[in-house]
Amino acid sequence: MLRKLYQGAGIVAALFLLIACGASRKNHAERILLRGIDTANEVSLKIPDPIIKKGDLLTILVYSDNKEATDPFNNPQNGGAASATIANGTQVSSMGRGYFVDNNGEIQLHKIGSIKAEGRTSQELSASLKKELSLYLMNPYVIVRFANARITVLGEVTRPGVIELPGVKVSVFDAIGFAGDFTNFSRRDNILIVREVEGKRISKRLDLRSPDVYSSDFFYLASNDLVYVEPTRRKPTGNEQVLLRNVTIGSSIVSVLVLIISIIRR
């Protein structure tokens, strides 16, 4: 009897190992990113120029040959409630301090007053401000940056959540890295990117296993993009986890019983 049990257990163990090895090789292949990139042709990267939108918060730094004349445009921001305007046109919001793009797509600057920001890139707004400031400053130079650039990463990553962008050149790989990399149950071939363009939401799915991802307009992320990593079908649900746990416990009990019977019959 025991001999048959041992033989059956050995057959089951061998089958399990064969299935596990096959699944392991398949899972390993699924986790490899950028397959064939070593032999892929060179791809011209498309780095989008971020467009200023309503609700953006901008940091604007002004320089000129006359520091005293320039200082009023760079006054330290102090006090104020959320989205309140300070005397020099700078606004304070709950997200930080800077120039808030209002519902009209405009910002308020010291002496200049309202100026259109929505729909422009930071370089275009900088050139426009430089032209306006030339009436008050000698050789003005203006730097415009996004103060509230962020993305949201959800799904099968180690640390999902909202991520502040350190710069405008952030790729989908950077986003996954900021979120702590994939989990063991992440799909690499169907990453969803959701973006708002001119008041409309558009989406794109990327296969990070293919080097063609570099040529996508969504490879580099824009502020407020949503990155969603889908789970694989191998990820067990809550009920499946309970079932697997019970099966494991049951198998362990059977193994212990077989061992005890074997010892007793010796």
pLDDT in tens, 159-210: 999 998 866 688 999 999 999 999 988 999 999 999 988 778 999 999 998 8
**Tell me: the pLDDT tens digits for 107-121?**
988 888 899 999 899
User: What is the CB-side half-sphere exposure of residue 256 using CA atoms within 13 A?
Assistant: 6
Is residue 81's pLDDT more than 50?
A: no
**Tell me: the pLDDT tens digits for 238-258?**
554 555 565 667 667 766 666
**Tell me: the pLDDT tens digits for 14-47?**
444 455 444 455 554 555 666 655 555 565 666 7
How much is the pLDDT for 125? 95
Give 57-146's CATH code, choosing from 3.50.50.60, 3.40.50.2300, 3.30.1950.10, 3.30.70.330.
3.30.1950.10
The mean of the pLDDT values for the chain is: 76
CATH class of 33-48+149-229: alpha beta
Sequence ranges of the domains in the chain = 2-18+239-265, 33-48+149-229, 57-146
How much is the pLDDT for 154? 96
Q: What is the pTM (predicted TM-score) of this model? A: 0.63
Mean pLDDT (whole number) for 133-146: 91
**189-203: b or e for each residue (b if 16 or more CB lie within 10 Å)?**
eebbbebeeeeeeee
| Residue 33, C-beta contacts closer than 8 angstroms, at least 6 positions apart | 188, 208, 209
